[in-house]
Amino acid sequence: MTDSIFSKIIRGEIPSHRVYEDDFVIAILDIAPLSEGHTLVIPKEPAATIDELSDDHSAAVGRVLPRITRAIKKVTGATSVNILQNNGADAGQAVEHVHFHIIPRFKDRNENVSGSPDKNNGPGLRLDWTPGTLTAEEALELGKHIKRLL
């Protein structure tokens, strides 16, 4: 894969607001935050998407996500948090290096979960979550094929 901006940040070649680092992972403040405290947790392995990430780096991210989330909640006073992880351009991924967004959410602030246009157009995460259906037959068929690969 090509060298991403996050690889350059990991190597210290370009500046960042680093809030955490260990042998496998860094966490930095997002430069264009959706909300106060928006943080990116980034494995040092240069995998573009989650399906390319090694078990060790994946485990390292999982180990620190709750701890970093706790710190962010405490500092910002966030009442809720979204952990968002985009993989591929069709999923909205802009930087081709695995990263987890920790996006603090606040009661009564402008960003809201439903995506309703009632508030303002300022920064924030607005989710348009429109559920479909899953029949028992579909679940059985799909589940069978997925399980076979795991």
Residue 7 corresponds to which tokens in the numbers above? 């690889």
Among 48, 50, 95, 125, binds ligand AMP (CB under 6 A): 95
Under rule CB under 6 A, residue 19 binds ligand AMP:
no
| Shorter beta-carbon distance to ligand AMP: residue 1 or 31 | 31
Give the three-state DSSP class for 82: strand
Among 57, 97, 99, 101, the one annotated catalytic = 99
Under the criterion CB under 6 A, does residue 30 sit at the interface with ligand AMP?
Answer: yes
CB closer to ligand AMP, 9 vs 60: 9
Cα separation, 64 vs 13, whole angstroms? 24
Mark 23-50 as b/e (b = at least 16 C-beta within 10 Å). ebbbbbebeebbbebbbbbbbbbbbbbb
Q: Which residues bind ligand AMP (CB under 6 A)?
A: 5, 16, 28, 30-32, 40, 86, 92-95
